[in-house]
């Protein structure tokens, strides 16, 4: 039972990441591979505040969101001027820079050694060290992120995002400042990723730079490509599948020496098949 709760917590965290990235990639048509950077910003902010000060989890989470908003606003101003492959390359470069900061700013992040002993949240006498309590907390945040995202995509703001995805030049002719819309959705998405990072750090109680490298951004991207682009429920489906897939593969009986490598092979095969036969994902509405 405890292990199922553990998987459910991981699902909720990666579902938040998937839903938030889908706002940028699926609904706005911007290929971003920097989500792990803001995931890491939230995680490291929470870890540093909880281990080096008396600030509680929820205050550190707010600080993480604020820092993610500031950083994403600065980098988003630059990225919003790019289109297509250049946008993707810009996000790739930013993720690389942030990973290098996590790895080398040892006085703050402890570098490759990571930060350990991160305490669990506590609120109004409720201790979230209990995994079931943490599961409830993580699902509350998933609920908030999901329904806020639904509100965004179903609003007039969301309709402009879809129009940018289909034809940015055409929507510009009608007087819409597309740079503004791309910046705002990038900032919103980054703030949500920081929430997931705060939950991740406090749940795992240990973080190091390896959790926030480019490979993690690609994993989050696969979540939404698999589940469905421009479909929030698809993000949930993709997160659920990729969290459960390693458990399913345990029953295949791969030799222990190559088990991890074979999982990557299976991921690759699934992705290739999707690109060939269902490029918009299982229940997606948009093709990259």
C-alpha pair distances (Å), 281 with each of 147, 157, 233, 236, 288: 21, 24, 11, 12, 10
pLDDT at 116: 95
pLDDT at 250: 77
Select the highest-mean-pLDDT range: 53-57, 264-268, 269-273: 53-57
pLDDT tops 80 at residue 178: yes
**Six-digit token pair at 23?**
């706002």
Range of weakest confidence among 13-22, 95-104, 165-174: 165-174
pLDDT at 278: 86
pLDDT at 252: 73
pLDDT tops 90 at residue 194: yes
Average of per-residue pLDDT across 82-100: 94
pLDDT at 65: 98
Residue 126 CA to residue 172 CA, distance in Å, equals 50
53 sits in the region (left: phi over 0; alpha: psi -120 to 50; else beta) called beta
pLDDT at 94: 96
Residue 135 CA to residue 254 CA, distance in Å, equals 31
C-alpha pair distances (Å), 253 with each of 13, 243, 258, 262: 28, 18, 11, 11
In the structure, what pLDDT confidence band is assigned to residue 145 with cuts at 50, 70 and 90? very high
pLDDT at 207: 97
pLDDT at 59: 95
Average of per-residue pLDDT across 195-204: 98
**pTM here?**
0.95
Average pLDDT, the chain: 93
Considering the chain, what percentage of its residues have pLDDT values greater than 70?
99
pLDDT tops 80 at residue 226: yes
Helix H or strand E segment including 1 = none
**Six-digit token pair at 85?**
């492959």
pLDDT at 13: 98
pLDDT tops 90 at residue 74: yes
Q: Which of 97, 78, 123, 82 is nearest to 40 (CA)?
A: 97
pLDDT at 141: 98
Give 280's DSSP letter: T
pLDDT at 275: 82
The residue extents of the domains of the chain are 2-213
């Amino acid at each position: 039972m405890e292990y199922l709760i553990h998987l459910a917590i991981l699902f909720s965290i990666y579902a938040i990441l998937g839903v938030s990235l889908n706002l940028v990639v699926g609904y706005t048509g911007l290929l971003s591979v920097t989500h792990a950077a803001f995931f890491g910003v939230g995680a490291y902010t929470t870890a540093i505040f909880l281990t080096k000060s008396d600030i509680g989890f929820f205050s550190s989470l707010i600080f993480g969101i604020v820092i993610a908003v500031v950083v994403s606003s600065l980098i988003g101003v630059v990225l919003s001027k790019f289109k297509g492959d250049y946008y993707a390359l810009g996000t790739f470069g930013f993720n690389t820079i942030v990973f290098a900061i996590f790895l080398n700013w040892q006085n703050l992040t402890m570098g490759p050694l990571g930060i350990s002993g991160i305490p669990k949240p506590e609120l109004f006498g409720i201790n979230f060290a209990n995994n079931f309590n943490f599961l409830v907390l993580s699902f509350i945040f998933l609920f908030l992120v999901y329904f806020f995202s639904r509100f965004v995509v179903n609003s007039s703001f969301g309709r402009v995002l879809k129009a940018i995805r289909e034809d940015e030049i055409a929507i510009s002719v009608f007087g819409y400042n597309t740079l503004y819309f791309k910046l705002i959705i990038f900032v919103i998405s980054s703030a949500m990723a920081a929430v997931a990072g705060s939950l991740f750090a406090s749940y795992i109680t240990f973080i190091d730079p390896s959790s926030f490298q480019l490979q993690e951004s690609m994993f989050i991207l696969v979540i939404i490509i698999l589940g469905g682009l421009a479909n929030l429920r698809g993000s949930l489906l993709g997160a659920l599948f990729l969290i459960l897939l390693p458990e399913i593969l345990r029953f295949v009986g791969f030799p222990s020496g190559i088990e991890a490598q074979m999982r990557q092979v299976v991921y690759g095969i699934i992705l290739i098949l999707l690109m060939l036969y269902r490029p918009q994902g299982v229940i997606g509405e948009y093709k990259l």
